[in-house]
Amino acid sequence: MNKPNVYLVGAGPGDPGLITVRGVELVRAADVLIHDQLGTAEFLAMAKEGCELYDVGKFAGNHKVTQDGINELLVQKARENKLVVRLKGGDPFVFGRGGEEMLYLAEHGIASEVVPGVTSAISAPCYAGIPITQRGYTASLAIVTGHEAEKEGTDIDWQALAKIGTVVFLMGVKNLPVIAKSLIDCGRSPQTPVAMIQNGTYPGQKTVCGTLADIAQIAETAGIKPPAVTVVGEVVALREKLQWFEKRPLFGKTIVVTRSRHQASVLCSQLRELGAQVIECPTIKIVQHGPGEEFREFMSESDSYEHLVFTSVNGVEGFINALQKQGRDLRFLGGKKVICIGPATAEAFVKRGITPDFVPESYVAEALLPYFEKLPSAGVALLRAEKAREVLPEALAKLGHNVKVFPVYHTEYVDAENNATINALAAGQVDLVTFTSSSTAEGFARVMTGSQIAPASVPAASIGPVTTQTCRDLGFNLKLEATEYTIPGLVDAMCKYFESLRGA
């Protein structure tokens, strides 16, 4: 048998955590990625450099590319001997037309395989707290396309569906009145519970409940729009006790992350885990200096410095990077005191087997002064950013220490793809913009240049007092400052902030 070079991959319903491991492997390996619009956006950044991307997304009333066009594109790319991944929302074989695409490939002599995906028919009700099967409630389940509800000659057997315990309709927003009436006309009680879940598994998930008699009116009043899943059956009543996703502390909140792209993942993942919708708007990038002239000077004078002070994770990484490029390793630290500001900075050494000699309880530079006040005159090297506050070196010098700053990295502003951020701010859809340093705040001010967004309309969340002052200087509307000046501390402060708003 020929080894396939076309794979139909189910991307799942929208939550990026619901794709399979095999699906991710293929996305990363693909030479060509032919993707839908719904449920796939999060995975495009995983594509390797040079991968050809084709958006063939279709949704109600708008077909970007016809199905025939998609089929022909698959064959064309497969014949170029490229690894082709057809990334489809949900599951390829659950109203995903994956069968049609696979048959077309087979008819043209092209081998293909399918990687199943999590269908919204199961996941959307799950995220709404509705088990579509439940002992004592239903012994049967049907999944039906809502597109064909009002078509003449449809093969939907309404008489049969009216007798099934749980019925899940996909893509049936427009035809909801027809669906409800058809089931009632065929004997289903008008009081049968019904739920509609819009954008299931996304942070913007919206759920409304009613009965067959009134769900159409309830959904219209609530403004439910595609994509949405409709669940009909007694199991809907369990949502009152079992809903969980919409109870997450940051559910429904839109938060902008301005950290550099390579550092943003930790904050973004924590926010998403708590239910937030995250807009990534990196405003800076970290540039490591490597073993430049200043670092070589530090190495030549290293015997003069008993204390090495690191003020950030970037400083640790910049130092180690430069050290390794000079053919040295962390044995260089033997006999020296390693001083770190903040637990994240300390952890950067700990995970490499080095336990810092001192980490102050407070995570600002000034917190080091009591430690150095107790010491006789000593050599102190600060390995930090090129531009930073001079408070610490000046204060240490006043205490009689021999202090020298050695920059190991610097930050540069980047021109972020900021349309999504600007549009969301303009529409009043952003709940918080997070700032993890003064440079991210200054970079965000640059992003706003030329827009109609007033600084006072930026709801700022600051990681600590220095960043807070920068936010105030820029005119941002400061909503909160973390008590613990770390990423977990910032996330905790955001949770408490929104909790206080709910209690007000």
Which positions are annotated as active-site residues? 36, 58, 171
C-alpha to C-alpha distance for 474 and 358, rounded to whole angstroms: 34
Backbone angles phi and psi of 104, in degrees to 5 = -65, -40
C-alpha to C-alpha distance for 57 and 119, rounded to whole angstroms: 17
**How do 337-340 and 284-288 pair as beta strands?**
unpaired
Residues 6+ apart with CB under 8 A from 214: none
C-alpha to C-alpha distance for 357 and 349, rounded to whole angstroms: 11
Is the sign of the CA dihedral 82, 83, 89, 94 positive or negative? positive
Element (H, E) at 25: helix 21-29
Output the six-digit token pair for 240: 């009152």
Q: How many CB atoms lie within 10 A of CB 80?
A: 11
C-alpha to C-alpha distance for 260 and 412, rounded to whole angstroms: 10
C-alpha to C-alpha distance for 320 and 326, rounded to whole angstroms: 10
Q: What angle do CA 319, 320, 325 make, to 5 degrees?
A: 100
Round the CA-based radius of gyration of the chain to a whole number and report it: 28
- For the beta sheet containing 432-435, the strands, ordered from the edge strand earlier in sequence to the opposite edge, are 277-280, 254-257, 432-435, 459-462, 477-481
501: helix, strand or coil: helix
Beta bridge pairs of residue 285: 412
**How do 193-198 and 228-232 pair as beta strands?**
antiparallel
Residues 6+ apart with CB under 8 A from 274: 248, 249, 250, 251, 491, 495
**Cβ pair 44, 52 in contact under 8 A:** no
Q: What angle do CA 312, 314, 319 make, to 5 degrees?
A: 105
Residue 334 exposed, middle or buried by CB count within 10 Å (0-12, 13-18, 19+) = exposed
Element (H, E) at 295: helix 293-300
* Residue 500 DSSP symbol: H
Closest C-alpha among 474, 466, 483 to residue 385: 466
